[in-house]
Amino acid sequence: MDASTADNIDDEALSGVLSIDLAALQSNYRMLADRVAPATCAAVVKADAYGLGADRVGPALASAGCRHFFVAHLVEAKRLKRHLPRDAKLYVLNGLMPGGESYAAANGIIPVINSLSQLSQWSAAAEQHGARLPAVLQFDTGMSRLGLSAADASVLAENRALLRNLDVQFLMSHLASADEHLNSQNVQQLAAMQAIAVNFPDAELCFANSGGIFLGAAFHGALVRPGIALYGGAPTDSLANPMKPVVRLSVRVIQTHTAPPGTLVGYGGSHHTQSEMRLATLAAGYADGLPRSLSDRGAAYALGQRLPIVGRVSMDSMTIDITSLPTDALQLGSLVELIGADQTLEDLARDAGTIAYEILTGLGHRYHRQYI
């Protein structure tokens, strides 16, 4: 049982079952690592490994051979470090907030430097630490989110003393449109990255995310850092999803009943039955990572049948139309599928008007988490 659930509660009593296939996760890692060789494959495990539990996902990836792990915040690195092998490297994508430098330096955590002010603070920490400290330099090549500018790159190239206290592990940037293989922004960002790299001939590149891996070897550099692809999400629009599914989600039925014609369903009476309809109420809602935008759009599945969501998704429950099922098919405690063989992660995200990342990272801790 997941550590966040109460002690002494049977798994069957929880609202649903979130199955996380660690063998599929490892298989996805190995496939990506083989694809990018001789480059090295890292893993992005930020946001608690995309909501799936970094304390379980990290060791599973390490067992598959991964030794480079990217998180977003220093606190994530602190929590994950004790679950990884001693030779694993942890990188903090957002860099360090003021005051975090001493902890990172003492514990071998590597910041991604996104600004000259972060660089200055990490350099000062190196002085205090009495040794050169590892760092990754991130450059903004067109996403306008994080990274040193082209002007900053020129400053560093002209004044190498600014880097005297740092052991630059990689030059890095982030692709904004890598999942769209024909998007011209990809080649524009690659050209910008290559132009910056000329100023740092001894540094290796870390450029490709999940989608970037499928753009070709020119994007790989020395280290790639997939995220969503590891967890079974589709990394590119250039081919059918090549990744193995990692997540399955089934939710329990609270009750079933028959609604006559003219019945109003859900908050605001947003659904109005046109004929007699059999309904089932499910024990999960938007507090469990099933967005309110699924209202009257999404569906669950049972016995291979699509069971539309009717009315608004509530905080802790939602209602589905089970008229197409045999009368006794579902009862109190029965499970229906939200993510699985009949409905992929991308299917659910599409119906919610969002992306697979948001669905994964939002899945709550009231489900029984079953690691396979």
Catalytic residue positions? 46, 267
For the chain, the straight-line distance linking the first and the last C-alpha, in angstroms and rounded, comes to 12
Long-range contacts of 61-67 (CB under 8 A, 24+ apart): 61/25, 61/26, 61/29, 61/230, 62/88, 63/26, 64/25, 64/26, 64/29, 64/30, 65/29, 65/30, 65/33, 66/29, 66/33, 66/41, 66/42
In angstroms, the CA 349 to CA 313 distance is 15
DSSP letter at 305 equals: E
In angstroms, the CA 296 to CA 208 distance is 38
Beta bridge partners of 257: 279
Amino acid at 29: Y
Q: Beta strand pairing status for 166-172 and 133-138?
A: parallel
Comparing CA positions, the residue from 93, 76, 97 lying closest to residue 137 is 93
Evaluated on CA atoms 251, 355, 42, 153, the torsion sign reads negative
Q: Which residue has the tokens 């193995």?
A: 244
